[in-house]
Chain A
């Protein structure tokens, strides 16, 4: 199984993602410059966090016009796996690969802290090694992480079991107080209808070593690796 990490001008979690795939997943991984368009050799692609194009216009808005994005759309349509983390999630929403939008945090702050998220479904290639209802401690670092979508989209997400992670208390209780940014219904991560594209605001790649405060992020990568091993 081969992984790729897309690098836009302004990406800054690309090395973290690369590190996790090579060290913890133990699989080959390449950086893919945003001007490259050949994704044929990859089974899964990560769109890392950062500030692509300086967040100019809107977070993720300009990255979606990079040449690699046309290939990424086809890549996703072919059923291969895409994981968008933080800015990667924003880019996937702007590109229309995931529904909804990420707007300014309700308190206007750039929030950089560890939060708790609850695993809402294990019926995804990214969470199938986790337990439903389990709580992960993951860092967030964003100013635009407030997930919104219209009622129709939200009903669809719920009905199709596409809300993957929600902000919660350490106990797993979903409360407004545990919602760092104002996201609708505490949504922290969603997937597409085909379930092969996941976007999430927290950074699992920064939570794979106890030294960094949490290793709860490993489960996401372990799940993806298990999925790829099964389909290979």
Chain B
């Protein structure tokens, strides 16, 4: 079983890296890009015996406590069997 955790800066939190990437992308000639926000992605291997519901609960807690800083970031969790 695998968990995927996406961590993104909250809307409104300055993301200078995203801005720099957007600038480069525009220089390369990609049109119509209105915004780029850079986030983080975690793949977490899990023991299948854990069960999907427990895995979701545990990984969500992990995301809140460690993987993200709730002051500046939001997260989402997906569990794959």
Interface residues of A (CB under 8 A from B): 57-58, 61, 65, 93-94, 99-101, 103-108, 146, 148-150, 182
A217 to chain B, nearest CB (A): 28
Q: Does B72 contact A (CB under 8 A)?
A: yes
Query: Known interface pairs A101-B72, A103-B72, A148-B72. Does A57 touch B67 (Cβ–Cβ under 8 Å)?
Result: yes
Q: How far, in angstroms, from A53 to B13 measured CA to CA in the complex? A: 24
Interface: B50 (CB within 8 A):
no
**A61 cross-chain contacts in B, Cβ below 8 A:** 66, 69
CB pair B16–A108 under 8 Å, yes or no, is yes
Q: What A residues does B14 contact at CB under 8 A?
A: 103-104, 106, 146, 148, 182
Q: Is B33 an interface residue (CB 8 A)?
A: no
B25 within 8 A of A: no
Nearest-neighbour CB distance to chain B for A140, whole angstroms, equals 17
| Shortest Cβ gap from A2 to chain B (Å) | 33
Asked whether B72 lies within 8 Å of A94 as measured between CB atoms, the reply is no
Q: Confirm or deny: B71 has a beta carbon within 8 angstroms of a beta carbon on chain A.
A: yes
Instruction: Tell me if B17 counts as interface (CB < 8 A to partner A).
Output: yes
B interface bracket (residues with beta carbon within 8 Å of A):
10 to 19
Closest B residue to A62 by CB, please name it: B66
Taking A57-B67, A61-B66 as contacts, is the C-beta distance between A106 and B72 under 8 angstroms? Answer: no
Task: Enumerate chain A residues within 8 angstroms of B13, measured Cβ to Cβ.
Answer: 103, 148
B69 engages A101 (CB within 8 Å):
yes
Interface pair A58/B16, CB less than 8 Å apart: no
Given the complex, which residues of A lie within 8 Å of B72, measured CB to CB? 101, 103, 148
Q: Which residues on the B side are within 8 Å of A105 (C-beta)?
A: 16
| Contact between B16 and A104, CB atoms less than 8 A apart | yes
Q: What residues of chain A lie closer than 8 Å to B71, measured between beta carbons?
A: 93, 99-101, 148-150
Say yes or no: B66 contacts A104, CB within 8 Å.
Answer: no
Produce 1/0 per residue, B1-41, CB < 8 A to A: 00000000000011111001000000000000000000000
Q: Which residues of B contact A99 (CB under 8 A)?
A: 71
**Cβ distance B73 to chain A, nearest Cβ, rounded Å:** 9
Q: Which residue of B lies closest to A64 (CB)?
A: B66
Supply 6 further A-B pairs (C-beta < 8 A) apart from A57-B67, A94-B69, A106-B14. A58-B69, A100-B71, A101-B69, A101-B71, A104-B14, A105-B16
Contacts of A100 in B (CB 8 A): 71
Q: Whole-angstrom distance from the CB of A125 to the nearest CB of chain B?
A: 26
B15 to chain A, nearest CB (A): 8
What are 17 contact pairs spanning A and B, CB under 8 A? A58-B69, A61-B69, A65-B66, A94-B69, A100-B71, A101-B72, A103-B14, A104-B14, A104-B15, A104-B16, A104-B17, A105-B16, A106-B16, A108-B16, A108-B20, A148-B72, A150-B71
